[in-house]
Structure 1
Amino acid sequence: MKRLPLVAALALGVSGITAAQADIEVYGQAHLAFSHLDDGDDYSAFNLSSNASRIGFRAGHDVSPNLRALVQLEGQVDFDTDNNETFTSRDSFVGLESGWGLLRAGRFDTPNKTLRSRTDLFGNQVGDARNIVRGEYTGQGVDERFRNGIAYRTPSFGGVFVDLHYSVDTGDDDNAADSNDDDAWSASLTYQQGPVYAAVAHERWNEGGERVREATRVAGSYDLADLRVTALAQTTGRPSDDAFGVGLRYALVGNIFLKGQYYVLSADDSDQDADMIAVGADYHYSDELRFYLNYAQIDNEDGQ
């Protein structure tokens, strides 16, 4: 008699729930930036860009008094190109949330990436810290989303919680590589209480069963009256690069905020070194409408 293998699986899914039963939210962001870009050499031009514009749908349903089912579908919208973005190109997942924590499966930001987004005062703008810390010039960046990922977040204990995130395969194939040779993992420890945010994360990407890139980040922010101070330090392996950045944001008057940040990359190959300074002002007309004016300059070495 032929024996069938025993397959263990964790299935997260929500079905048979009507709109009347679930809490449904339609959300999004339209972010257009008019910029002048100049490389100081042979390129100088005005540019209109759609920066992480998106549309998404969230649904939540209490399947029992102590268990809530979650679904999120989020896709990028490019106002400036005809790129065919998939509807789930951004954070998209199904999940379960209860007193024991949060469990999600799908495609979404890693704990390591979250540290940068929490402390970057110019995220998705001219002056974005990813210009320095992403490290994509090596072939594998360290500020990405995991495909095919499953993640767990513990409850908060006195402001402290842990995130664990594993991808069975970081490629976009239908099936994972044999023995999960192209897997990856990311984990973080966070303290968030009142004006203080502090976290440390480590991430590792594999290819063909071999480690191809890893990164460790430490990040934090502190709010002191009208002033916010941010900082991030990062070290990566293969190649061994180090990066560091600090930022300040000040509530000037009303809904006007002044901000600035400085980031520097000390690469394993000095020809890849870079540093960036960015300054700007934000005007929060309302929670739904914001304007900003930024200036940023990057100094790259010859190989960068």
Structure 2
Amino acid sequence: MKTIKFGLVAAAVLASLAVPAMAADVTIYGRAHLSLDSLDNGDEDGTNVSSNSSRLGFKASTKLEGGLEAFVQIEQNIRFDEGSGNWASRDSFVGIKGDFGQVRAGQFDTPLKAVRSKVDMFGDRIGDIRNLTRTSTSGTGNADIGNVFDERYKNGVHYRSPSMNNFTFDLHYTPHNNTGATVDNVQESYSMSVSYEVKGFYAAVAYETFEGQNDLDPSAVRVGVFYDITDAFRLAGMYQNASDVPGGDRNVYGIGASYKMGAYTLRSQYYVAGDNDADDTGANMFVVGADRNFGKDLVMYVAYGVTSNDDNANFRVSAGGRDTQLSTIRGENASGLSLGLQYSF
């Protein structure tokens, strides 16, 4: 089965090399997203500056004969707060697309992660849904190590179908999510989704599974949806069931809303992480905020969020897309007040 998969990808790449090409179109883009945060771990608090999924990227594409197009992207994380970054650390890939859809290879978000990105009212901010959807080795929070959903897998191969009656299918295969070569394909993973999107409405269901540690093969089913009740008012929600993860199965679910008033946008969301196999290991997270848009490229915002942990849980409020995070004391509430500025170019 693996030989067949490799053969199909190799055939697509070789076919693209045999087609004459036009000159490439190159684009430089990026985002500077910083925030001034007051973070509380349940016992102490402090003031921090955080660079939140800030990036610099390069895109290029070339039209080919036969209706094909070759494309490439190189994107890296930029730490504006500490003056550092890692080359090609974010979505970086090369691929080819045409009437058949598109195929690409490299490191990039999985279809499961993409569903959350579409419905998260506070992506890369205080109160990001990833505060609850990630799972650690202890199964009682989102530690920096362990089995984690919402990943950007290494060594990925991804196929996206053309849109058919507004439906799109995505399949992402990773032979091993690690560096270097392998002979046993440990950490092999699959992620797939079916999505439906028209103006003002989006719905998707995704499934992901990978080879974990300690004889566990974590998997997750995720459903996400948003609906624009009016041009100004959007409702969104997401449900996730994670199984065969450390600590036992866990459900995460919640809703969010946003309302536009001229240059301002009010937003909030509430999410719940249920207990796993142990008692009192759940949490709920509430966050509220307001944006001020200065044109389409510059946004200033304020947000306040609280994650209320059960006695045996330590979920955060400052994780998910943020480079400065504060671990939470088990059984205590985490909170954060954030003033942010986001400039896209």
- Provide the residue aligned with 2:271 in structure 1: 263
Q: Give me the TM-score of the superposition, normalised by structure 1.
A: 0.90
- Between the aligned partners of 2:136 and 2:162, the Cα distance in structure 1 is 33
- Between the aligned partners of 1:167 and 1:179, the Cα distance in structure 2 is 13
- Between the aligned partners of 2:229 and 2:263, the Cα distance in structure 1 is 17
Q: Which has the higher contact order (CA 8 A, sep 6+)?
A: 2
- Between the aligned partners of 1:202 and 1:55, the Cα distance in structure 2 is 30
- Provide the residue aligned with 2:324 in structure 1: none
Q: 1:150 to 1:210 in 2, by over 3 A?
A: farther
- Between the aligned partners of 2:213 and 2:311, the Cα distance in structure 1 is 32
Q: Match of 2:34, as an amino acid? A: L
- Structure 1 residue 296: Cα displacement: 0.3
Q: Are the aligned partners of 1:112 and 1:201 in contact in 2 as well (CA < 8 Å)?
A: yes
User: Alignment partner for residue 158 of structure 1, among 165, 184, 187?
Assistant: 165
- Provide the residue aligned with 1:233 in structure 2: 239
Q: 1:247 to 1:211 in 2, by over 3 A?
A: same
Q: Are the aligned partners of 2:78 and 2:86 in contact in 1 as well (CA < 8 Å)?
A: no
- Between the aligned partners of 2:122 and 2:136, the Cα distance in structure 1 is 19
- Provide the residue aligned with 1:86 in structure 2: 86
Q: Among all aligned residue pairs of Structure 1 and Structure 2, give the percentage whose two residues are the same amino acid.
A: 37
**What stretches of structure 1 of length at least 5 have no aligned partner?**
1-6
Paired residues for 1:76-225 under 5 Å = 76-81=77-82, 83=84, 85-136=85-136, 138=139, 139-172=146-179, 174-176=180-182, 178-207=183-212, 211-225=216-230
- Between the aligned partners of 2:178 and 2:81, the Cα distance in structure 1 is 27
**What stretches of structure 2 of length at least 5 have no aligned partner?**
1-5, 140-145, 315-345
Q: Match of 2:181, as an amino acid? A: N
User: Alignment partner for residue 276 of structure 1, among 275, 278, 285?
Assistant: 285
- Between the aligned partners of 1:142 and 1:212, the Cα distance in structure 2 is 12
> Which stretch has the larger CA shift, 151-160 or 134-143?
134-143
- Between the aligned partners of 1:44 and 1:10, the Cα distance in structure 2 is 51
Q: Give me the TM-score of the superposition, normalised by structure 2.
A: 0.80
Secondary structure of the residue aligned to 2:115 is helix
Q: Match of 2:243, as an amino acid? A: G
Q: Are the aligned partners of 1:181 and 1:210 in contact in 2 as well (CA < 8 Å)?
A: no
Q: 1:193 to 1:8 in 2, by over 3 A?
A: closer
Q: Are the aligned partners of 1:234 and 1:243 in contact in 2 as well (CA < 8 Å)?
A: yes
> Which stretch has the larger CA shift, 58-67 or 111-120?
58-67
- Structure 1 residue 136: Cα displacement: 3.6
- Between the aligned partners of 2:9 and 2:167, the Cα distance in structure 1 is 27
- Between the aligned partners of 2:136 and 2:165, the Cα distance in structure 1 is 36
Query: 1 or 2, which has the higher strand percentage?
Result: 1
Q: Are the aligned partners of 1:181 and 1:208 in contact in 2 as well (CA < 8 Å)?
A: no
- Provide the residue aligned with 2:9 in structure 1: 10
- Between the aligned partners of 1:215 and 1:131, the Cα distance in structure 2 is 16
- Provide the residue aligned with 1:32 in structure 2: 34
Q: Match of 1:287, as an amino acid? A: K
- Between the aligned partners of 1:211 and 1:153, the Cα distance in structure 2 is 29
CA RMSD of aligned residues (A): 2.4
**Count of residues in Structure 1 that have an aligned counterpart in Structure 2:** 293
- Between the aligned partners of 2:211 and 2:240, the Cα distance in structure 1 is 19
